[in-house]
């Protein structure tokens, strides 16, 4: 349906879960089983006693699908809260990437110059390679990667998105 496909938008969701065995499998399985897509997913414990984890999922869909995803996530027993950061007001999104670039001579200099503009740090170097560490919103990482492509990019490792709502309120 063409009308629906035009409404498809990217959403970043925070899912707070009890940190019990299998909880990540439940969340991922829900997405795959119901045909929702996952663009990125990150998870880590966030409480002192290791009982709570925060999952950040970036997905896309029509408003009806996004509402379904929220409702289906809330239905999982170990899920404490689900927030759609994209609709609930401004938020900060960051991801980190490690980017390995191989080359010598001019392209090596060029890579370093661009990295500087992007404030990417060099975290490893050899005479014919660099590893850059870059942090920022997804678009920035992607712009950096595409510029590195012709400059000898050979390997990428990305963390996926971590996100949090702006302002004093806490989830």
Partner 1 sequence: MTSLKSVAPKDAGPRLVGRSGMTAKPEIMSGAEVIIRALEDMGVDTIFGYPGGAVLPIYDALFQHSKINHVLVRHEQGAAHAAEGYARSTGKPGVVLVTSGPGATNTVTGIADAMLDSIPMVVLTGQVATHLVGTDAFQEADTVGITRHCTKHNYFVDKSEDLCQIMFEAFHIATTGRPGPVVIDLPKNIQVADAPYVKPIGQVEHRTYKPQIKGDRALIEEALELMAEAERPILYTGGGIINAGPAASQLLREFAHATGFPVTSTLMGLGAMPHDDQQFLGMLGMHGTYEANMSMHGCDVMVCLGARFDDRVTGRVDGFSPGSKKIHVDIDRSSINKNIHVDIGIVGDVGHVLEDMLKLWRAKAYRARPQVKDWWAQIEDWRARDCLAYAQKGEGILPQHAVKRLFDLTHHKSPIITTEVGQHQMWAAQYFGFDKPNKWLTSGGLGTMGYGLPAAIGAQLAYPDALVIDIAGEASIQMNLQEMGTATQYRLPVKVFTLNNEYMGMVRQWQQLTYEGRYSSSYSDSLPDFVKLAESFGWTGIRIEKASDLDDGIKQMMETDGPVFVDCVVEKLENCYPMVPSGAAHNEMILGPEGASGKISKEGQALV
Site residues (vs partner 1, CB under 8 A): 18, 21-22, 25-26, 29-30, 33, 64, 67-68, 71-72, 74-75, 77-80
Q: Shortest approach of partner 1 to residue 77 CB, angstroms?
A: 4
Q: Shortest approach of partner 1 to residue 79 CB, angstroms?
A: 6
Name the nearest CA neighbour of 162 among 128, 143, 136.
Answer: 136
Q: Shortest approach of partner 1 to residue 2 CB, angstroms?
A: 13
Q: Shortest approach of partner 1 to residue 68 CB, angstroms?
A: 6
Using the minimum distance from each CB to partner 1, give the nearer residue, 67 or 88: 67
Using the minimum distance from each CB to partner 1, give the nearer residue, 31 or 159: 31
Using the minimum distance from each CB to partner 1, give the nearer residue, 31 or 112: 31
158-159-160-163 Cα dihedral, nearest 10 degrees: -140
Q: Shortest approach of partner 1 to residue 72 CB, angstroms?
A: 5
Using the minimum distance from each CB to partner 1, give the nearer residue, 26 or 94: 26
Using the minimum distance from each CB to partner 1, give the nearer residue, 78 or 137: 78
Question: HEC string of the chain?
Answer: CHHHHHCCEEEEEEEEEECCCCHHHHHHHHHHHCCCCCCEEEEEECCCCCCEEEEEEEEEECHHHHHHHHHHHHHCCCEEEEEECCCCCCEEEEEEEEEEEECCCHHHHHHHHHHHHCCCEEEEEECCEEEEEEEECHHHHHHHHHHHHHHCEEEEEECCCEEEECCCCCC
């Amino acid at each position: 349906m063409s009308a629906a496909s035009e409404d498809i938008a990217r959403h970043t969701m925070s899912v707070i879960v009890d940190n019990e065995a299998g909880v990540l499998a439940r969340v991922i399985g829900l997405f795959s089983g119901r045909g929702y897509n996952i663009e990125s997913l990150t998870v880590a414990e966030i409480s002192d006693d290791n009982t709570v984890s925060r999952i950040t999922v970036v997905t896309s869909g029509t408003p009806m699908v996004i509402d379904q995803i929220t409702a289906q996530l809330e239905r999982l027993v170990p899920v404490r809260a689900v927030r759609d950061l994209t609709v609930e007001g401004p938020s900060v999104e960051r991801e980190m990437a490690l980017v390995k670039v191989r080359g010598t001579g001019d392209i090596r200099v060029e890579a370093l110059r661009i990295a500087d503009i992007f404030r990417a740090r060099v975290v490893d170097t050899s005479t014919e390679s660099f590893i850059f560490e870059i942090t920022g919103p997804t678009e920035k990482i992607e712009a950096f990667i595409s510029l590195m492509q012709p400059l000898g990019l050979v390997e990428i490792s990305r963390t996926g998105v971590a996100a949090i709502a702006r302002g004093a309120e806490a989830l």
